[in-house]
Amino acid sequence: MTGVVSYEDRLKGFDWSLGEKELGITKDGPINIGWLCTDRICRMGLGQKTGFIWEGSEGAVRTYTFDRLRVLSNTLARFLEKHGVAAGDRVCLFMDRVPELYIGLIGILKRGAIAQPLFSAFGEDSLKVRILDAETKAIITQRKHIFKVRRMRDSTPSLTHVFVVDGGAEGLKPGEYPLDLEAEPPVEEYAVHPTTAETPSILHYTSGTTGKPKGAQHVHYSVVSQYLTTKWVLDLKPDDIYWCNADPGWVTGTSYGIIGPWVTGTTQVVGDFGFSSDRWYEFIEKHRVTVWYSAPTAIRLLMRDGDAPVKKRDLSCLRHLCSVGEPLNAEGVIWSREVFGLPFHDTFWQTETGSIVIANYPGMVIKPGSMGKPFPGITATVVDPKTFEPITVPGRVGLIALRPGWPSMMRTYWRNPTTYQSKFKNGWYLCGDRASIDKDGYFWFVGRDDDVINTGGHLVGPFEIESALIEHKSVAESAAVAKPDHVNMEVVKAFVVLKPGFEPGDDLELEIMNFIRKRLSPLAMPQEIEFVAKLPKTRSGKIVRRILRAKEFGEPIGDVSTVMED
């Protein structure tokens, strides 16, 4: 590949301050991601460049220059300020992928508030848990989702403001306000809040095995990592048209679906529609997408639909493909080479890491099925699960461990420092994943090291599902585990122990499913419920989901020494 600086050359003398220099910021000075993504780009003379092309589900297209993004995000920041949103307040974004979601994030950051993006597909319970935890002050939403917000408002006292981006003021209730960005007086100049490196920026909720979802708290300094990884791994260049098909409810959709492209002054396209191979290829062809960041589940779906839909289109515009979220099967890389003439480059990272930490770098030899090598500035290894010492034997499986201190590392879990601390052992941050490293330094993913379920690249914690199940009158106990799936890699399966007096059967399964459907997001919905007489537990009474999971996967059950006997 021409014009690509080699991985080895990037490693030489690497220092994160390189990113600071290119962005014109210093660790002690003001740093505001919202400003860097819009005002700075305009000051570089790119105000009239298209920053954002949005296509709605019905095919409507809206185009925004960087200057328009600057003014609209100013307008939103001023609007929040007028309504009493102060610096540090949490403002939730609860919308489909409409322009207000993208501009909203930038505006919230300019105001100095903390953005809390949540999937609009969340059910009211999933929403409520996160709003309660963050003590969110305001939520920006659409009419179509307001009913979910209304249903939880009585139990979320911190939530004083609901801003609705469509439909005007009609029918709104007290505490609900219309937010029509186009109708608001445009704010040409806005005094961006003087945030600095360590000012909190985004709160991204992620699920673990136990307890409620945790808010990974990021800061404005994260932009240094996001900027450099966008340039060097996603390889964005001034003339690129970039498409990241992740939703900003997920960290990929903010780090690389908003910040990465805009802080590098790149034109990005967004489609507010779900998966369809025909529509996706048409979208790439129509907008002349050059760089595409996708996910293995989507790639598997595209593979399933075969080469015919690809052949109908002229996709010669594509020049670089990347993937994240789950293991990218070697077949996916080989297939994309065949049909697009380009391999998907697997990248590995997490909500907590804030940016790509292990990647197949452009120009690097790809070993299909491997996640590649650590990004410059990232010290990554695999450690022994008992001693937490690095494993030096190539091919031996251990826990993925990172040396803390890169710019976009989460700073804590929101008001949960104990769980945050528990992620560190022997000076390493543990990702909760298992992998091995080969003799050439390539990382090979093996699996999660906990009970978290990865369905289509989305992490689902068993706790939320089990909590919803237990609310049903018939359920005494439950356990949610992963079950293999050829498209989503994993789906949720629930095991349920019934209370006395209830009989297992299809009718009850349907009734429980309907009951939890209102509470959970579609992603977290079990595909199947199995009624069992009891659940495997440790002597201390903890459910051992690993045993249930191993059975689903047809794997050996492993160490059961702490599991209670019959």
Residue 335, SS3? helix
Establish if 371 lies at the interface with ligand PRX (CB under 6 A). Answer: yes
Shortest distance, CB of residue 112 to ligand PRX, whole angstroms? 26
Name the β-bridge partners of 477: 497
In the bound state with ligand PRX, the residue whose beta carbon lies nearer, of 51 and 248, is: 248
Name the β-bridge partners of 293: 244, 322
Tokens 């629930």 -> residue: 494
Site string for ligand PRX, 503-542 (x = CB under 6 A): ----------------------------------------
Burial class (CB within 10 angstroms; exposed 0-12, middle 13-18, buried 19+) of 51: buried
Residue 463 near residue 410, CB atoms below 8 Å: no
In the bound state with ligand PRX, the residue whose beta carbon lies nearer, of 76 and 401, is: 401
Shortest distance, CB of residue 14 to ligand PRX, whole angstroms? 22
In the bound state with ligand PRX, the residue whose beta carbon lies nearer, of 353 and 478, is: 353
Nearest to 75 by CA among 163, 136, 142: 163
Cα–Cα distance measured from residue 251 to residue 202, given in angstroms and rounded to the nearest whole number:
10
Cα–Cα distance measured from residue 272 to residue 281, given in angstroms and rounded to the nearest whole number:
15
Shortest distance, CB of residue 182 to ligand PRX, whole angstroms? 33
Establish if 247 lies at the interface with ligand PRX (CB under 6 A). Answer: no
In the bound state with ligand PRX, the residue whose beta carbon lies nearer, of 263 and 402, is: 402
Shortest distance, CB of residue 134 to ligand PRX, whole angstroms? 17
Q: At residue 43, what are phi and psi to the nearest 5 degrees?
A: -65, -25
Binding to ligand PRX, residues 317-336 (CB under 6 A):
324-327
Residue nearest to ligand PRX (CB): 351
Among 32, 370, 381, 454, binds ligand PRX (CB under 6 A): 454
Would you give the distance in Å from CA 562 to the centre of its chain? 35
In the bound state with ligand PRX, the residue whose beta carbon lies nearer, of 219 and 251, is: 251
Q: How many CB atoms lie within 10 A of CB 11?
A: 13
Tokens 């949103």 -> residue: 85
Residue 558 tokens, joined? 């492993």
Among 74, 116, 350, 455, binds ligand PRX (CB under 6 A): 350
Q: Where are the beta strands (DSSP E) in 188-265?
A: 200-206, 214-219, 241-244
In the bound state with ligand PRX, the residue whose beta carbon lies nearer, of 116 and 206, is: 206
Establish if 459 lies at the interface with ligand PRX (CB under 6 A). Answer: yes
In the bound state with ligand PRX, the residue whose beta carbon lies nearer, of 268 and 297, is: 297
Establish if 206 lies at the interface with ligand PRX (CB under 6 A). Answer: yes
Shortest distance, CB of residue 295 to ligand PRX, whole angstroms? 8
Site string for ligand PRX, 412-451 (x = CB under 6 A): -------------------xxx-----------x--x---
Stretch of residues binding ligand PRX (CB under 6 A), selected from 226-234, 345-353, 373-381, 534-542: 345-353
Cα–Cα distance measured from residue 29 to residue 220, given in angstroms and rounded to the nearest whole number:
11
Stretch of residues binding ligand PRX (CB under 6 A), selected from 116-124, 335-343, 349-357, 417-425: 349-357
Shortest distance, CB of residue 350 to ligand PRX, whole angstroms? 4
Stretch of residues binding ligand PRX (CB under 6 A), selected from 341-349, 489-497, 528-536, 555-563: 341-349
Establish if 252 lies at the interface with ligand PRX (CB under 6 A). Answer: yes
Shortest distance, CB of residue 272 to ligand PRX, whole angstroms? 20
Residue 418, SS3? helix
Cα–Cα distance measured from residue 399 to residue 384, given in angstroms and rounded to the nearest whole number:
7
Among 74, 264, 290, 351, binds ligand PRX (CB under 6 A): 351
In the bound state with ligand PRX, the residue whose beta carbon lies nearer, of 77 and 489, is: 489
In the bound state with ligand PRX, the residue whose beta carbon lies nearer, of 138 and 324, is: 324
Shortest distance, CB of residue 206 to ligand PRX, whole angstroms? 5
Contacts (Cβ under 8 Å, ≥6 apart) of 472: 511, 512, 515, 516
The type of residue at 217 is: Q
Length of the chain: 566
Site size toward ligand PRX, by CB under 6 A: 21
| Distance set, CA 194 to CA 31, 75, 85, 151 (Å) | 7, 17, 15, 36
Q: At residue 383, what are phi and psi to the nearest 5 degrees?
A: -115, 155
Name the β-bridge partners of 292: 243, 321
Shortest distance, CB of residue 457 to ligand PRX, whole angstroms? 6
Establish if 268 lies at the interface with ligand PRX (CB under 6 A). Answer: no
Establish if 478 lies at the interface with ligand PRX (CB under 6 A). Answer: no
Q: How many CB atoms lie within 10 A of CB 330?
A: 14
In the bound state with ligand PRX, the residue whose beta carbon lies nearer, of 167 and 369, is: 369
Residue 401 near residue 431, CB atoms below 8 Å: yes
Shortest distance, CB of residue 248 to ligand PRX, whole angstroms? 12
Residue 254 near residue 202, CB atoms below 8 Å: yes
Rg (CA), the chain: 23
Cα–Cα distance measured from residue 79 to residue 85, given in angstroms and rounded to the nearest whole number:
9
Among 346, 451, 464, 466, binds ligand PRX (CB under 6 A): 346
In the bound state with ligand PRX, the residue whose beta carbon lies nearer, of 372 and 526, is: 372
SS3 sequence of 121-153: CCCHHHHHHHHHHHCCCEEEECHHHHHHHHHHH
Establish if 345 lies at the interface with ligand PRX (CB under 6 A). Answer: no
Cα–Cα distance measured from residue 176 to residue 171, given in angstroms and rounded to the nearest whole number:
9
Residue 378 near residue 443, CB atoms below 8 Å: no
Stretch of residues binding ligand PRX (CB under 6 A), selected from 12-20, 42-50, 77-85, 344-352: 344-352
In the bound state with ligand PRX, the residue whose beta carbon lies nearer, of 402 and 525, is: 402
Among 138, 251, 298, 399, binds ligand PRX (CB under 6 A): 251
Residue 501 tokens, joined? 């007096």
Q: Which residues contact ligand PRX by CB under 6 A?
A: 206, 251-252, 324-327, 346-351, 371, 431-433, 445, 448, 454, 459
